[in-house]
Amino acid sequence: MKNYDLIIIGGGPAGLAAGLYAGRARISTLIIEKQKNGGQIVITSEIENYPGCLEDETGPSLIDRMVKQTEKFGVDHVFDTVTDMDLSGKEKILHCLHEDYSAKAVIIAAGANPVQIGCPGEIELSGKGVSYCATCDAAFFEDFEVYVVGGGDAAVEEAMYLTKFARKVTIIHRRNELRAAKSIQEKAFANPKLDFMWDTVVQEIRGDGLVESMVVKNVKTGELTEIFADEDDGTFGVFVFIGFKPTTEVFRGHVGMDEKGYILTDQDMHTDVPGVFAAGDIRQKSLRQVVTACADGAIAAVQAGKYIEEM
């Protein structure tokens, strides 16, 4: 079993910021990331609201620099998946798919994942026209039609990004008013390639190997409409951005959570377990942004440092 002073679970902005602060404090630190550093931010095409980010800053470019910063201060990184744990004692044990680890303190920064519509055909056609990542899949829809489900910041921003590729982008929103920030809405309404389908939900996505049609329902009239792919295209894209759910299943029963599964902390990121902290989108909070994730990570690392020193 490999030992560290501090283990951070999650290599998104919260985990990387925590790693930076821990590394600079000369705390022996490991960041365990499941798949790919960056969390949700690597599927974000444009970052306008992280201080210091100007035009052309993408999620991946920001994350690359954050990872390098942690490495500069001696933080170790490993790709593995936490499957079980014992956080109750002074030595925290993390069981992963490939290896087991122990640490004096743990910061949980495992983030959140996209919510699915939950309609028939969505899972089956995921990666075959249904997508949750515009940066990853937009290029596949060069000159095709694309539908974006959702009305928040993510849906509207990603819809605008998709207009750079798709022939036409239609936002399908369940109400007649967007939730997205007003500044984002202004840009969206001024975009000639962007259309809106209000008061509408997706009931079913159909296709044999690729998305071919989609049944939508007007929630006010109850009317059902089947949208077919253009005959020449044969398919279209359905990009889903309807929020996120915390990645907390594996932590259930180990730390306190609210009814939605977000981890409860105090303002210094302490969970209800001594030596266990949470940072970023995974914790109950009012604003989930890169800037708040980084702030959480910094606070959690400083508090973890104090905890380790006092042990």
Report the nearest approach of ligand NAP to the CB of residue 224 (Å): 16
Task: Indicate which residue of 53, 64, 100, 133 is catalytic.
Answer: 133
Q: Contact between 175 and ligand NAP (CB under 6 A)?
A: yes
Q: Which stretch binds ligand NAP (CB under 6 A): 134-142, 144-152, 190-198, 300-308?
A: 144-152
With CB under 6 A as the contact rule, the residue among 14, 42, 82, 154 that binds ligand NAP is 154
Q: Contact between 288 and ligand NAP (CB under 6 A)?
A: yes
* Residues 119, 205 contacting (CB under 8 angstroms): yes
* Residues 259, 91 contacting (CB under 8 angstroms): no
Catalytic residue list contains 133: yes
Instruction: Give Cα separations from 137 to 44, 126, 165, 204, 228 (angstroms).
Output: 12, 11, 10, 21, 20
Catalytic residue list contains 294: no
CA 263 to mean position of chain CA atoms: 16
**CA within 13 Å, CB half, 90:** 5
Q: Contact between 187 and ligand NAP (CB under 6 A)?
A: no
Q: Contact between 152 and ligand NAP (CB under 6 A)?
A: yes
Q: Contact between 78 and ligand NAP (CB under 6 A)?
A: no
- CB count, 10 Å around CB of 156? 27
Q: Which of 61, 43, 59 is nearest to 239 (CA)?
A: 43
Q: Which stretch binds ligand NAP (CB under 6 A): 147-155, 222-230, 254-262, 301-309?
A: 147-155
DSSP state, residue 120: T
**Cα(165)–Cα(210) distance, rounded to whole angstroms?**
19
Residue closer to ligand NAP (CB basis): 72 or 175: 175
Task: Indicate which residue of 84, 136, 230, 258 is catalytic.
Answer: 136
**Cα(304)–Cα(25) distance, rounded to whole angstroms?**
11
Q: Contact between 261 and ligand NAP (CB under 6 A)?
A: no
Q: Contact between 24 and ligand NAP (CB under 6 A)?
A: no
Report the nearest approach of ligand NAP to the CB of residue 255 (Å): 22
DSSP state, residue 163: T
With CB under 6 A as the contact rule, the residue among 137, 145, 157, 296 that binds ligand NAP is 157
261: left (phi over 0), alpha (psi -120 to 50) or beta: left
* Residues 267, 174 contacting (CB under 8 angstroms): no
Q: Contact between 219 and ligand NAP (CB under 6 A)?
A: no
Residue closer to ligand NAP (CB basis): 145 or 157: 157
Q: Contact between 296 and ligand NAP (CB under 6 A)?
A: no
Residue closer to ligand NAP (CB basis): 111 or 305: 111
With CB under 6 A as the contact rule, the residue among 53, 93, 201, 219 that binds ligand NAP is 201
Q: Contact between 59 and ligand NAP (CB under 6 A)?
A: no
Q: Which of 239, 96, 94 is nearest to 171 (CA)?
A: 239
**CA within 13 Å, CB half, 17:** 23
Interface contacts to ligand NAP, rule CB under 6 A: 48-49, 117, 149-155, 157, 174-175, 179, 201, 241-244, 288-289
The residues carrying an active-site annotation are 133, 136-137
